[in-house]
Structure 1
Amino acid sequence: MSCFRLPDTFLRDIEGLMAYFFWNMVTNSKTHWLAREKLCLRKDEGGLGFRRLKENDVALLAKQSWRVAFQPNGILSKVLGQKYYPESNFFEAQLGSSPSYTWRSH
């Protein structure tokens, strides 16, 4: 999850399954006591504190990009560096003509 961006529709489906699981655990009556949006609010804002998966995915990508940029001896840094920016650095790298899904995600 942290090396490439997951499709938005997939993340929405997973959030829907999480909400469905939560609603069905309370009762089998299928009554939705909280809106889906409210499940992801912080607890001090009246929600249940579930994380939004899209925001979490973007945060994990940012963390991985930071590692690629500032830890050049890491295995992902070496692989991406040799393929996509052998003569420059991470911040000056271009997308290229046929980038992998991992590289397009960063």
Structure 2
Amino acid sequence: MKRSMKIHWINWNKLCTLKKKGGMGFQDFHAFNLAMLAKQAWRLIHKNGSLFYMVYKARYFPNTSFLDVELGSNPSLVWRSLLVARDIIHAGSRWKIGDGRKISVATHSWLPHSPVFLNAPSMDMKVYDLIDEET
């Protein structure tokens, strides 16, 4: 009777684990790709004068900011990928309130949890309106 050789598959997470920790040390290309996309999304947030920003602003978010834009109709694969990266940045970011004049109480995610209001806030109310400058 002849024995057949079988392939013993290994979990991808195990392959990507460092060699020192018993893995094969492979690079996680999905995580690497997301990191590179997040770097480009970061540039769309902070480098408003670049050609890259101006082209994407004109095409995909002419009337809003990159942080607030929706997917839209007929998006390219690159644009979809940048929005996934934007969501990763958004999940790991925290607000710096400053004086609160530009941050809407009702529409911006300026707290780490959903705010609880006793009364419905007006849509144009800013965080500045909640700050008592004397105390």
TM-score over 0.5 for the pair: yes
Q: Give 2:41's aligned amino acid.
A: S
- What's 1:92 paired with? 68
Q: Give 2:19's aligned amino acid.
A: K
Q: What is the TM-score with the length of structure 2 in the denominator?
A: 0.48
Task: Say which of 17, 30, 40 aligns to 1:41.
Answer: 17
2:80 aligned with 1:104, yes or no?
yes
Deviations 1:7-40 (A, max 9, x none): xxxxxxxxxxxxxxxxxxxxxxxxx8x9463331
- What's 2:43 paired with? 67
Deviations 1:29-64 (A, max 9, x none): xxx8x9463331123312232211111111111111
Cα distance in structure 1, aligned partners of 2:11 and 2:64: 45
Between structure 1 and structure 2, the one with the greater Rg is 2
Q: What is the TM-score with the length of structure 1 in the denominator?
A: 0.59
Q: Give 2:48's aligned amino acid.
A: P
Which structure: greater helix fraction?
1
- What's 1:52 paired with? 28
Runs (5+) with no aligned partner, structure 1: 1-31
Count, aligned residues: 76
Tell me the percent identity.
Answer: 36
2:72 aligned with 1:81, yes or no?
no
1:97 is displaced (CA, Å) by: 1.4
Runs (5+) with no aligned partner, structure 2: 1-6, 83-135
Corresponding residue SS for 2:67 = helix
Cα distance in structure 1, aligned partners of 2:10 and 2:74: 42
1:102 is displaced (CA, Å) by: 1.4
Off by >4 Å, runs of 4+ in structure 1: none
Corresponding residue SS for 1:56 = helix
